[in-house]
């Protein structure tokens, strides 16, 4: 256990702004700071930090707390480990003497793997600086690349010695368990039960840091020219290292990215380090893999602008264009810098030096859409088929940009560049966006005009069907409100008295009872009441409804189930407390308001469960982002989009129905 005194000292030292700004670029707004929330996906900032109160709060996903809560949430640590983390950061020694050997072993596995990985990083650095081979081969190589001692240390570069098990046996001697060495991916068990060997040997080592600066994996480069040896090998994915969520250099770059509001995206470790060496620090590498949404969001926490750096290989560039659409889709501004033939970012930075590099970056930067248009139109000068292909490629990129104004600006620009009427481009963009938005849940407008489904007044115009994944969502007050109309007015006609007075009017022929209307509406969306007592009442109601309202009420009042009796009495004695009723003038008899209030209560019911489901899915999405499961994230994002869309049509419809 950590003493109360130590906890207090940590809480005093760990000022919320210092803690949060390790992970998020905060902007001052008055007395507080704001940022895009690190716990859920958002495009406009709703995450707020109050230095005075020492708390953070997200108005989007509702996450809130103090410095310790932030670290627990963000780094997936328990309370004690979060305190230790903050203790380390703020130089407060955390004495945790009562922890036994067994407890130490039982501590979070990921903590153990992190510890092994940190040990390995220290070991590789020591081997680099303190062994003959490290100095001659390792440091020799880094110097050849122009890295200074300072740069080598800044990136914790190292040397994995030969000998096949140097690191593994040193780690075991230092007390690290074989199990965690294997789990960290740094040691390999060739045969079950036998001694482990090193994954990395005779390689220069590039540790990969998490955003908070902990070593989570390595890339190792061989310096041999033997073709049978892979030039680079990397740590496998582990509990602490998820490739799709890591960016090489993000820890060293984040403050510069936030300050300069731009992030350069390069390919390899040495590109990143050479840029630092040349004084350009706002740079990260995706380490060979194609860019993922998680990596993009990582960058987006610090800046809305990314510049992708290419060496001059056209085939390579074309292959990566798709990946760039993902950047646009996340709402980033995307620029491109194309290096001259035969140069890559690393070689250019080394050859030309800091000033020339910065000048080149500033002057060669081109907007991505313009770049793509130019790149593709070089191939397509006179070939109409290829030209059509080019136009659809460019339109595809524009259509994923979330911001409507940016889209309009690009459409105008490309219309001039490609010499095509603006309307044609904007129609194409609209078509693509529509396809994307609605494609997920298909055509929905027909569902309301099924045969045998009577028309009623006022019709719901949302045209939206409740998606299957939220039909189990529960909202007690809204369910009770439906029962209210069922029990009190279920067998009344949903029409006002007017059409009943005039039996020849066309509306009279399609009259519908309140109970039938409610049943249709719920069945239409596969909705069932979730409260079990309400559901029982609901189901029994439809068995006896032809006996008339008076009989029905008596039946339920004398029901053998006391819970049912209670609900029915509540409903029969309830006055003016319902959400819809407050819109109704008390002087108007309720009966006359049914054509408005019943559809409205249905709509409120559906809108409420949509809102609840929306919040739940947002929470799940925040969790999924933490766990890094891309597939689940994509599914949830799709659901969020569907629900946002439905929510909007519901609120439009509700406004229309407001009395
Ligand atoms: Zn949030």
Ligand 1 centroid to Cα of residue 622, in Å, is 8
**What is the strand order of the sheet 283-285 is part of?**
283-285, 263-266, 305-310, 333-338, 366-367
What does each C-alpha distance from 234 to 54, 152, 435, 627 come to in angstroms?
40, 19, 40, 21
- Ranked by mean pLDDT, which of 70-84, 199-213, 615-629 comes out on top? 199-213
Whether pLDDT at 74 is above 60: yes
Share of the chain above pLDDT 90, in %: 23
Give distance in angstroms: CA of 118 to centre of ligand 1: 31
* CA-to-CA separations, 541 to 317, 489, 619, in angstroms, rounded: 66, 12, 37
Q: How far is the CA of 620 from the centre of ligand 1 (A)?
A: 12
- pLDDT at position 581: 46
At 460 the pLDDT is 47
23: CA distance to ligand 1 center in Å?
14
Q: If you measure from the C-alpha of residue 47 to the centroid of ligand 1, how many angstroms do you get, rounded to a whole number?
A: 6
The pLDDT score that the predictor gives to residue 245 is: 84
> What interhelical angle do 293-300 and 250-260 show, nearest 10?
50
pLDDT tens digit sequence for 27-59: 888 778 999 888 888 888 889 998 877 888 888
Rg over CA atoms, the chain? 32
pLDDT at 259 over 70: yes
Instruction: Give the residue among 296, 301, 302 at the shortest CA–CA distance from 334.
Output: 296
Q: Which of 186-200, 431-445, 487-501, 564-578 has the least mean pLDDT?
A: 431-445
For residue 292, the CA-to-ligand 1 centroid distance in Å is 21
**Over 60: is that where the pLDDT of 507 sits?**
no
Phi then psi for 160, rounded to 5 degrees? Answer: -95, 115
Helices 404-418 and 422-439: angle between axes, nearest 10 degrees? 140
Maximal CA-CA distance, the chain: 104
Could you tell me which residues are beta bridge partners of residue 58? 47
Residue 458 has pLDDT above 70, yes or no: no
Q: What mean pLDDT do residues 568-590 have?
A: 58
* Tally of CB atoms within 10 A around 329: 16
Residue 451 has what pLDDT? 30
Is the pLDDT confidence value at 638 over 50? yes
Q: Which residues contact 654 (CB under 8 A, 6 or more apart)?
A: 600, 603, 604, 607
Q: Is 190 left (phi over 0), alpha (psi -120 to 50) or beta?
A: alpha
β-sheet bridge partners, residue 160? 203
Phi/psi at 533 (nearest 5 deg)?
A: -65, -45
What's the mean pLDDT when you consider all of the chain? 81
Q: What is the DSSP string of 181-238?
A: HHHTTSEEESSTTSPEEES--SEEEEEEEPTTS-EEEEEEEE----TTS-SEEEPPP-
Q: Are 234 and 218 in contact (CB under 8 A)?
A: yes
Q: Residue 585: is its pLDDT beyond 70?
A: no
Position 495 scores a pLDDT of 59
Which residue's structure tokens are 């390999």? 188
d(CA 337, CA 304): 17
Determine the distance separating the centroid of ligand 1 and the alpha carbon of 623, expressed in angstroms. 11
* Per-residue model confidence (pLDDT) at position 285: 93
What does each C-alpha distance from 268 to 211, 232, 234, 271 come to in angstroms?
18, 11, 12, 5
**Euclidean distance between the first and final Cα of the chain, in Å?**
61
- 39 C-alpha to ligand 1 centroid (Å): 5
Q: At residue 234, what are phi and psi to the nearest 5 degrees?
A: -125, 160
User: Strand 232-234 to strand 215-222: parallel, antiparallel, or no bridges (unpaired)?
Assistant: antiparallel
Q: How far is the CA of 64 from the centre of ligand 1 (A)?
A: 9
Ligand 1 centroid to residue 210 C-alpha, Å:
21
| Ligand 1 centroid – CA 28 distance (Å) | 18
Q: For residue 196, what are its two tokens?
A: 């482990």
Give me ligand 1 centre to Cα 57, in Å: 8
Q: Which residues of 446-455 are buried (b: 16+ CB within 10 A; e: fewer)?
A: eebeeeeeee
Q: Comparing C-alpha atoms, which of 128, 212, 116, 209 is closest to residue 170?
A: 116
Average pLDDT for 323-336: 86
Confidence of residue 440 (pLDDT cuts 50, 70, 90): very low
Burial 512-527, CB ≥16 within 10 A → b, else e: bbbbbbbbbbbebbeb
Selected residue with higher pLDDT from 483 and 434: 483
Distance 635 CA to ligand 1 centre (A): 19
Weakest mean pLDDT among 65-74, 266-275, 316-325, 461-470: 461-470
Alpha carbon of 2 to ligand 1 centroid (Å) = 30
Model confidence at 456, in pLDDT bands (50, 70, 90)? Answer: very low
The mean pLDDT of 371-377, rounded to a whole number, is 80
pLDDT score of 131: 95
What whole-number distance in Å separates Cα of residue 371 and Cα of residue 335?
A: 8
DSSP secondary structure letter of residue 176: -
Distance CA 555, CA 383 (A): 79
CA dist 208 and 189 (Å) reads 23
Whole-model pTM above 0.85? no
The CA 334 to ligand 1 mean position distance, Å, reads 25
**Ligand 1 centre distance from Cα of residue 330 (Å):** 16
pLDDT at 541: 94
What's the confidence (pLDDT) of residue 228? Answer: 83
| Share above pLDDT 70 across residues of the chain, in percent, rounded to a whole number | 85
Whether residue 176 has pLDDT greater than 80: yes
* CA 313 vs CA 10, 200, 367: distances in Å: 52, 31, 18
| Residue 508: pLDDT over 60 | no
Cα separation, 155 vs 215, whole angstroms? 10
Q: pLDDT digit string (tens) for 411-430?
A: 998 888 888 888 888 888 88
pLDDT category at 99 given cuts 50, 70, 90 is: low
Plot region of 565 (φ>0 → left; ψ -120 to 50 → alpha; else → beta)? alpha
Q: How many angstroms is it from 254 CA to the middle of ligand 1?
A: 20
pLDDT of amino acid 463: 52
């Amino acid at each position: 256990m950590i003493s109360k005194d130590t906890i207090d000292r940590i809480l005093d030292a760990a000022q919320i702004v210092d803690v949060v700004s390790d992970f998020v670029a905060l902007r001052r707004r008055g007395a507080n700071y704001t940022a895009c929330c690190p716990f859920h996906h958002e495009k406009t900032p709703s995450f707020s930090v109050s230095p005075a109160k020492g708390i953070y709060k997200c108005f989007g996903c509702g996450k809130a707390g103090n410095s310790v809560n932030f670290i627990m949430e963000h780094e997936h640590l328990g309370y004690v480990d979060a305190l230790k983390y903050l203790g380390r950061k703020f130089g407060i020694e955390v004495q945790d003497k009562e922890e036994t050997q067994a407890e130490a072993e039982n501590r979070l596995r990921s903590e153990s793997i992190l510890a092994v990985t940190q040990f390995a990083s220290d070991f590789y650095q020591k081997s680099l600086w303190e062994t003959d081979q490290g100095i001659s081969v390792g440091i020799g190589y880094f110097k050849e690349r122009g890295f200074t001692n300072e740069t080598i240390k800044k990136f914790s570069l190292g040397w994995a010695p030969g000998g096949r098990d140097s690191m593994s046996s040193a780690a075991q001697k230092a007390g690290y368990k074989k199990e965690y060495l294997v789990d960290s991916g740094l040691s390999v068990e060739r045969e079950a039960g036998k001694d482990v060997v090193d994954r990395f040997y005779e390689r220069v080592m590039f540790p990969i840091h998490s955003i908070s600066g902990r070593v989570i994996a390595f890339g190792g480069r061989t310096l041999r020219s033997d073709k049978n040896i892979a030039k680079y090998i990397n740590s496998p994915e582990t509990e602490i290292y998820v490739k799709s969520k890591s960016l090489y250099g993000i820890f060293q770059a984040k403050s510069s990215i936030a300050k300069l509001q731009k992030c350069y995206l390069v390919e390899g470790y040495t590109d990143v380090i050479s840029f630092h060496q040349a004084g350009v620090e706002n740079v990260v590498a995706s380490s060979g893999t194609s860019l993922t949404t998680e990596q993009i969001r990582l960058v987006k926490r610090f800046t809305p602008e990314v510049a992708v750096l290419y060496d001059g290989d056209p085939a390579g560039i074309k292959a990566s264009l798709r990946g760039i659409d993902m950047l646009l889709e996340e709402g980033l501004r995307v620029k491109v810098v194309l290096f001259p033939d035969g140069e890559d970012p690393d070689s250019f930075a080394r050859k030309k030096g800091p000033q020339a590099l910065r000048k080149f970056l500033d002057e060669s930067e081109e907007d991505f859409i313009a770049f793509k248009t130019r790149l593709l139109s070089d191939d397509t000068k006179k070939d109409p088929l290829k030209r059509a292909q080019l136009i659809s490629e460019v339109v595809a990129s524009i259509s994923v940009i979330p911001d409507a104004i940016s889209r309009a600006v690009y459409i105008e620009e490309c219309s001039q560049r490609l010499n095509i009427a603006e309307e044609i481009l904007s129609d194409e963009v609209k078509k693509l966006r529509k396809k994307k938005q609605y494609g997920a849940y298909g055509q929905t407008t027909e569902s309301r005009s099924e045969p045998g489904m009577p028309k009623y007044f006022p019709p719901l115009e949302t045209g939206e069907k409740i998606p299957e994944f939220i039909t189990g969502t529960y909202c007690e007050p809204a369910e009770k409100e439906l029962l209210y109309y069922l029990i009190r007015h279920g067998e009344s006609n949903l029409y006002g008295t007017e059409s009943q007075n005039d039996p020849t009017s066309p509306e009279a022929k399609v009259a519908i009872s309140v109970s039938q209307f409610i049943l249709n509406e719920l069945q239409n969306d596969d909705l069932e009441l979730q409260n079990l007592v309400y559901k029982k009442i609901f189901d029994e109601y439809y068995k006896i409804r032809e006996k008339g309202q008076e009989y029905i009420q008596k039946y339920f009042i004398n029901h053998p189930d006391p819970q049912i009796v209670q609900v029915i009495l509540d409903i029969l004695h309830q006055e003016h407390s319902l959400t819809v009723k407050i819109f109704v003038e008390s002087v108007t008899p309720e009966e006359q308001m049914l054509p408005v209030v019943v559809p409205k209560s249905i709509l409120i019911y559906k809108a409420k469960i949509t809102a609840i489901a929306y919040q739940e899915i947002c929470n799940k999405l925040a969790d999924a982002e933490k766990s890094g499961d891309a597939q689940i994230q994509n599914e949830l994002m799709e659901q969020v989009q569907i629900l946002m869309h439905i929510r909007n049509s519901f609120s439009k419809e509700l406004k229309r129905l407001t009395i």
